[in-house]
Amino acid sequence: MNEVRSTCGYCGVGCGVLIQTDGAAIRGVKGDPSHPANFGRLCGKGLLLREASFSNRALFPLVGGVRRSWAETLDFLAGKFAKTLSQHGPDSVAFYVSGQLLTEDYYVFNKLAKGLIGTNNIDTNSRLCMASASAGYKQSLGADAPPACYEDLDHADCLFIAGSNTAWAHPVLFRRVEDAKARRPEIKIVVVDPRRTETARFADSHLAIAPGTDVALFNGMLHVILWEGLADHAWIGAHTEGFEAVRDLVREYTPKAVAASCGIHENEVIETARLFARSRATLSLYCQGLNQSASGTAKNTALINLHLATGQIGKPGAGPFSLTGQPNAMGGREVGGMANLLPGHRDLSSEKDRSEIAKLWGVNQLSAKPGKTAVEMFKAVHSGEIRIVWIVCTNPAQSLPEQKLVREALERAELVIVQEACAATETTAYAHVLLPAAGWGEKEGTVTNSERRISRVRAAVPPPGEARPDWGIAVAFARTLERHLRPEAKTLFPYENPETIFNEHREATRGRDLDITGLSYRLLEERGPQQWPYPENTSMGKARLYEDGVFPTPGGRARFVPAPYRPVAENADARYPLRLTTGRLRDQWHAMSRTGNVAALFAHAPEPRLALHPSDLERAGLAEGSLARVRSRRGDLYVPVEPDAGLKPGVAFLPMHWGARFLGGSDARGVNGLTLPALDPESKQPELKHCAVRVERAELAWRLVAFGRAPDADALELFERLDPFMREFAFASRALAGEGVLFRAAAREPPSAALLVRIDRAFGLGAADALRYDDATRAIGRRIALAGDAIRAVRLSGDTRSERWLQDYWKRGAAVQGVRRYLAMPLAAPPGADIRSARTVCVCLSVDEESILSAIRDGASTLPCLQSRLRCGTECGSCIPELRGLLAARQDAA
Ligand code: SF4
């Protein structure tokens, strides 16, 4: 068994991993103790990287659903591109790439679009994620560079966490927050979030502002800081410009006015401002709550204004620190893989920048015409302006807002190319051409994490089938296309391996804020991950930026940027009275194309749920588990509801992950069927975090639930087998559950008997020995198959009252001999049934909520006590915030 050092492929924390391999397959994954991002820790997603990576794989190039060789496929694509470019010009094609790509992959795609084809129509799903943070840094500080580092968590006296559920979105980083608080309990943690998240529960204070009112809060805090003389005027005078305009702007943001806008108490504004300014070192951590907004850039600059006014930047423990969502959104920004950027943090709008890159690439010139950003790109595909779209390693048919338009665009496009490691995603369903890509653990390159640290990603095993690394696909296509576009010229893509690409990218950074001319694969090999900048002739990167108070602006000064507060793009009104906000689940990643392949990652949140404040549930006449219809101006969906007292009345929450593969129905487009495409004017990032909805009872009287294993298929095969049924009902959902699948459906009227027979067949419930009960007059049906003395699969339709106990017995593999005669009866629970299963809290060690509550009732009153009794929270630690919450709830109750 070998161990290969690499990097986790999920979030921007960028944890180092050790991949254990026998050369043919990945056998295990553990944290790399030597990696400075995680020191050996991994969260639950990272620990299960192996399981997520080997299933649902695209293996061969497919053209029109038919397997072709790579040579045939690339010839076909190059011919189509050449014809379209000659007839309709370079802007008739587009590339939509991903923050999951490695820096080298990104670099080649960017050069292919901008250097060879001559279009700037290349954008990335990072536009949905970090574009506002990037725009904010550039406006305020002069460069797209997070100035702080993870070590600053150890030095901060005040952690100001805004719009980030760090405990769930960046779990390993949150372990460092917990460690810092344990070492120095005097550290103050403030969380600004409309929801009482696990992060908010951990904080010393939680400002539950109304969604989208962050700018008002930050301006109000600055008002207090100035009014109370807490600003650092010496620092402002020496290192900034534009202060007066911001001072004048915030004059009207009195605590009283801000408290009214934000829905909090004015003392909360005042006390938070005092804490922020008086603390020896204040570190802000922020993420999508600020970025995914039509005012995303203003939220970022308003927050940075606070740091500039108080001098809380460029010193240990201080600074505005954006937490990157994706593993390599930073790398994409570095190579300029966005519609408005060029390599080395250059701007497309600058003639000087364009000519520098044209020279580096060996082309005459680059187009000055701005490319289409993510949302704009799919609108242009919809209108026919863009005819060919090449989608790489991302799932726009789930993740972009206004899914109706996105899906129509994909249907209308002349050619949709999807380059993917996963065979089945919402987007692969629209692919005319599917190109199989190497996945995590199968490719080489580099990624940059939130703290500007570049880590190597290494291949532990070869890709399966004919899958190839993304950079290799781009290079092979580019060379094939060059035969059409510049047959006599030397190739622009002479790369034979990722290292040669990295070296060219490195050259693009020379003399820039992110200069990495001192780095090489060899140095990364010898010394491990390094932070940029790391110029030639230096011996290490910079942990922290702007310690000298000099900023990369023309005058060397940071800029105060006036950021007036603007309400959300779509406010609640009488027709749509609730405010829907979206966010992450603890154990799922983005559109679930990988984590959705791992049953264990469903254990914490097994099915889609819309969370509402209990009073809103009551008002809508809904109880926990009831099916609701959620409508926005752009679409609707059915989803079960649950109460969450951590939400304010009037606010609803639906996790961002549930796309139509998991949350189906005849007209289903997942959560982003509801969201709106309003864009931030600077960053062009859409307001995925907020839209107005109404929630009402679903008028779907007929219900079905089926769960279990099929005798002739593993869980993932059964999951895919259920695909056709996801659109047969008004509502449908499916999820991996234990060793099988849980499928749920609802409709106004009972479906045909033939449809039920097909579902039964999928689960292997059609056999003669399955227990059967049918009442045609009441449209009630029941099928139960046993394996030995345990339940193997169940289908209940029309009357699903027995679901809970049957599911409990199935999941536990419990013997049914004592309750056998009740199997045919629609009882909620038979007498003497031993129902035990509950929601899993600790996935690593399979500890459920009931066991934890029972241990607490039995006297386990502290976290260490719980941990020693049940071992929960002793592996990855992602459940620790929730364990603390359960302990605190018990103490409150007592
Ligand atoms: Fe991966 Fe979890 Fe680390 Fe993020 S925190 S990089 S998901 S192991």
pLDDT, tens digit, 9 for 90 and up, residues 419-446? 999 999 999 999 999 999 999 999 999 9
Do residues 775 and 765 touch, judged by C-beta distance below 8 A? no
Mean pLDDT of 333-356: 97
Q: What is the mean pLDDT of residues 727-754?
A: 96
The DSSP H or E segment spanning 179 is helix 171-183
Q: Identify the band that residue 332 occupies on the pLDDT scale cut at 50, 70 and 90.
A: very high
Q: Given this model, what pLDDT does residue 185 score?
A: 97
Kindly report the protein residue whose alpha carbon is nearest to atom 5 of ligand 1.
172
What's the whole-number mean pLDDT along residues 305-314?
98
Determine the residue of 7, 10, 174, 447 to mutate for testing ligand 1's pocket, defined as the one with the most ligand atoms within 8 A of the Cβ atom: 10
As given in the structure block, the two tokens for residue 823 are 């199997």
DSSP string computed for 239-251 = HEE-HHHHHHHHT
Peptide bond into 533 cis (omega under 30): yes
Q: Are 413 and 377 in contact (CB under 8 A)?
A: no
* 334 Cβ contact list (under 8 Å, min separation 6): 103, 343, 344, 345, 448, 505, 509, 514, 532
Question: Ligand 1 centroid vs 590 CA: distance in angstroms?
Answer: 13
46 CA from centroid of ligand 1 (Å): 5
Mention every residue, 6+ apart, whose C-beta is less than 8 A from residue 546: 141, 147, 313, 314, 558
Please say if the pLDDT value at position 608 is more than 80. Answer: yes
Query: What is the predicted pLDDT for the residue at 767?
Result: 84
Query: Of the candidates 594, 530, 461, which has an alpha carbon nearest to the alpha carbon of residue 11?
Result: 594
Distance CA 223, CA 459 (A): 52
The percentage of residues in the chain with a pLDDT greater than 90, rounded to a whole number, is 94
Closest atom of ligand 1 to CA, residue 7: 6
Within 8 A by CB and 6+ apart from 349, the residues are: 340, 368, 370
The fraction of the chain above a pLDDT of 70, given in percent, is 100
pLDDT score at 667:
82
pLDDT band at 30 (very low <50, low <70, confident <90, very high): very high
Q: Which of 6, 7, 8, 449 to mutate to test the pocket of ligand 1 (most atoms within 8 A of CB)?
A: 8
Instruction: Give the residue among 376, 309, 353, 319 at the shortest CA–CA distance from 131.
Output: 376
Q: Is the pLDDT of residue 837 over 90?
A: no
Instruction: Tell me which residue has its CA closest to atom 4 in ligand 1.
Output: 11
Mean pLDDT calculated for residue range 389-399:
97
**CA 593 from centroid of its chain's CA atoms:** 11
Give the burial class of 494: count Cβ atoms within 10 A of its Cβ; 0-12 exposed, 13-18 middle, 19 or more buried.
exposed
Model confidence pLDDT, tens digit, residues 521-550: 999 999 999 999 999 999 999 999 999 999
Check whether 455 has a pLDDT greater than 80. yes
Distance 461 CA to ligand 1 centre (A): 21
113 Cβ neighbours under 8 A, 6+ residues apart = 95, 119, 120, 121, 122, 371
Ligand 1 centroid – CA 49 distance (Å): 10
What spacing in Å lies between the alpha carbon of 465 and ligand 1's midpoint? Answer: 28
Q: Which of 30, 51, 170, 285 to mutate to test the pocket of ligand 1 (most atoms within 8 A of CB)?
A: 170
Q: Is pLDDT at 834 greater than 90 in this prediction?
A: no
Residue 248's alpha-carbon distances to 253, 561, 678, in angstroms, are: 10, 12, 29
Atom nearest to 13 CA in ligand 1: 6
Which atom belonging to ligand 1 lies closest to the Cα atom of 46? 8
Which residue among 17, 29, 35, 38 is best mutated to probe the pocket of ligand 1, counting the most ligand atoms within 8 A of its Cβ? 38
In angstroms, how far is CA 623 from the centroid of its own chain?
29
- The rounded distance, in Å, linking the Cα atoms of 280 and 696 is 50
Tens-place pLDDT, residues 124-137: 999 999 999 999 99
Residue 838: what pLDDT? 76
Atom of ligand 1 nearest to the CA of 38: 3
Residue 828 confidence (pLDDT): 86
| Paired tokens of 869 | 């009794």
What pLDDT digit, counting tens, does each position of 765-812 carry?
Answer: 988 889 999 998 999 999 999 999 999 999 999 999 999 999 999 999
Backbone φ, ψ for residue 97 (5° rounding)? -110, -160
Q: Is the pLDDT of residue 863 over 80?
A: yes
Which residues, 6 or more positions from 274, have their beta carbon under 8 angstroms from its beta carbon? 224, 228, 230
Q: Which atom of ligand 1 is nearest to the CA of 14?
A: 6
Structure-token match 């008997």, residue found? 753
Ligand 1: residues with CB < 6 A are: 8, 10-11, 13-15, 38, 42-43, 45-46, 170-172
Q: Is it the case that residue 894 has pLDDT exceeding 80?
A: no
| pLDDT, average across residues 622-636 | 96
Residue to mutate (ligand 1; options 39, 43, 100; most atoms within 8 A of CB): 43
CB 236 within 8 A of CB 308: yes
Q: What is the CA radius of gyration of the chain?
A: 27
Averaged pLDDT of the chain: 96
For residue 307, report the distance from its CA to the centre of ligand 1, in Å: 28
User: Where is average pLDDT lowest: 114-123, 392-401, 595-604, 882-891?
Assistant: 882-891
Query: pLDDT tens, 253-302?
Result: 999 999 999 999 999 999 999 999 999 999 999 999 999 999 999 999 99
pLDDT in tens, 456-496: 999 999 999 999 999 999 999 999 999 999 999 999 999 99
